[in-house]
A and B are shown apart, each in its own frame.
Chain A
């Protein structure tokens, strides 16, 4: 489904500096360097509109540069799932209340359903897929497996991403702090008790102590 999946390892900055940057810079000018543009452009110069037809976008997803063409109304969630085949993030409520679409945007958890794909350009996006390297599972999903912290599993990709964000920001987070970081996610199967076991294990704390 995706137009291109570039795995050159080039950073976005290097990519834009490179020889093929002219077309990309034209299409993404405002997205790429707002500060620089503000300094150069007189205020009277009209701001160009994008769309409503498809707009070429490039997203940095799990360390890979991915490009596609989407209408401005396409959310980051729908762009990831339907245009780029990154299906870890789930579409459940699509209204910013359930957390199943949670992704990390520059290391902070956000709802991919409540953000335009256009707005995610230039940011580093990480989904649940980033929590496995080869055959090695990250400690957070590994704890979910160990403690059977899921039933249907549909909410799990959002939960592990939100939990990863808390523990990355503060590796010494207490179980209560981790739980606060999960306030924006919901599990309709009600596997919270097993998730608590996983959280206590990740925090190296005994439950009930």
Chain B
């Protein structure tokens, strides 16, 4: 790891004032589980590190009358184990509970989960000068792309967004409160992510001198669930994740949102799946049809065609869980 100067501000304003208007020379440090890995690989070589461990205002989970406010510094374990959050938003708490192992969840934060860098092995290899560094091409497009995007249309870089909290939060209509040098603003999480294609672009729309201070979720009675298809049940990244939310009505599902994770450079909103399940009663047949609709526009790469089927399964099972029906796959 390249050495650096360490700063420990105590307010979000101080932290932002320490950042620069270009990426790379100064990095924010939250839980450290992603940043230090990147530093050890020399993929990140900041000369200045701004620690958020002294910014007490970033901690805390507040369940209020109209919304739930989660500080960007809230630990993943605190989100996963929060009784009221579990009741209101099981999609979020289940997703948090499946991230890494206990150690990662005790260290990692909400803000870090949203802003972490992607897991592409070409990107994370010091010696591969890919599009997200200063290179001219994406090596995954025609290389080893087993875990890469299947909604690859129009993207020069085919990473998948690594956040598993993001699909759940987008389906719940959450927003990020962002502190910048000129004050605070709110960004819907549905508009928070972007597909990066150069070394001065990250996986989100924040500027280099912005930071997330809080995520707010409107309180609601939405049925919601997140389902991950994975190789291993513990300590693994999902191959495909589906997060869903909908209103329960007499005429079946209303205003559904279906958001896929780990299939595209950003969390992927599956509008066709939402249309498919709207007005239907959730059943294996209707949820299965929604799953097929979610996958219909996929354009997999050479090694990840298997993910198309996983999208169908993940959406179907997430809808079944959200509807409170028997998990037919568990014996």
Give the shortest distance, in Å, between B46 (CB) and chain A (any CB). 10
Give the shortest distance, in Å, between A77 (CB) and chain B (any CB). 11
Contact A72 B54 (CB under 8 A): no
Give the shortest distance, in Å, between A79 (CB) and chain B (any CB). 13
Contact B10 A71 (CB under 8 A): no
Q: Choose the segment among A1-9, A11-19, A48-56 that binds chain B (4+ C-beta atoms closer than 8 Å).
A: A48-56
Chain B at the A interface: SS class: mixed
Which residues of chain A from 98 to 155 have any CB-CB distance to chain B below 8 Å in the complex? 99, 102, 105, 108-111, 113-116, 118-119
Which of B13, B37, B54, B77 makes the CB contact (< 8 A) with A43?
B13
What chain B residues lie within 8 Å of A184 (beta carbons)?
100-104, 235
Which residues of chain B from 1 to 52 have any CB-CB distance to chain A below 8 Å in the complex? 1-11, 13-14, 17-18, 29, 31-33, 36-37, 39-40, 48-49, 51
Given contacts A73-B1, A114-B107, A183 and B7 within 8 Å (CB-CB): no
What chain A residues lie within 8 Å of B55 (beta carbons)?
34
Which residues of chain A from 39 to 83 have any CB-CB distance to chain B below 8 Å in the complex? 41, 43, 47-52, 55, 71-73, 75
Contact A37 B10 (CB under 8 A): yes
Minimal Cβ-Cβ distance residue in B for A35: B56
What chain B residues lie within 8 Å of A182 (beta carbons)?
101
Contact B14 A43 (CB under 8 A): yes
Is A162 at the interface (CB under 8 A from chain B)? yes
Interface band, chain B:
35 or more
Binary contact track A79-97/B, C-beta < 8 Å → 1, others 0: 0000000000000001111
Minimal Cβ-Cβ distance residue in B for A162: B102
Is B234 at the interface (CB under 8 A from chain A)? yes
Which residues of chain A from 180 to 202 have any CB-CB distance to chain B below 8 Å in the complex? 180-186
Contact B1 A110 (CB under 8 A): no
Interface band, chain A:
35 or more
Contact A72 B5 (CB under 8 A): yes
Give the shortest distance, in Å, between B235 (CB) and chain A (any CB). 5
Contact A183 B234 (CB under 8 A): yes
Minimal Cβ-Cβ distance residue in A for B14: A47
Give the shortest distance, in Å, between B57 (CB) and chain A (any CB). 8
What chain A residues lie within 8 Å of B10 (beta carbons)?
30, 34-35, 37-38, 41, 47
Minimal Cβ-Cβ distance residue in B for A105: B106
Given contacts A114-B32, A115-B32, A71 and B101 within 8 Å (CB-CB): no
Report the Cα distance A145→B122, complex, angstroms.
43
Minimal Cβ-Cβ distance residue in A for B37: A95
What chain A residues lie within 8 Å of B101 (beta carbons)?
99, 182-185
Minimal Cβ-Cβ distance residue in A for B235: A183
Is B255 at the interface (CB under 8 A from chain A)? no
Is A165 at the interface (CB under 8 A from chain B)? yes
Contact B56 A38 (CB under 8 A): yes
Contact B4 A183 (CB under 8 A): no
Minimal Cβ-Cβ distance residue in B for A29: B8
Which of B3, B39, B53 makes the CB contact (< 8 A) with A71?
B3
What chain A residues lie within 8 Å of B13 (beta carbons)?
43
Binary contact track A143-179/B, C-beta < 8 Å → 1, others 0: 0000000000000000000100110000000000000
Which of B51, B56, B103 makes the CB contact (< 8 A) with A99?
B103
17 A–B contacts, CB within 8 A, in A order: A30-B54, A31-B8, A34-B8, A38-B56, A47-B18, A49-B7, A73-B1, A73-B39, A96-B33, A114-B36, A116-B36, A118-B8, A119-B29, A119-B32, A165-B102, A184-B100, A184-B102
Given A108-B106, A110-B106, output 13 extra A-B contacts at Cβ < 8 Å: A34-B56, A37-B54, A41-B10, A47-B8, A50-B8, A73-B39, A96-B104, A99-B103, A109-B103, A115-B107, A116-B32, A184-B100, A184-B103
9 closest Cβ pairs, A-B complex: A184-B101, A183-B234, A34-B54, A72-B6, A38-B10, A183-B101, A49-B5, A184-B103, A52-B3
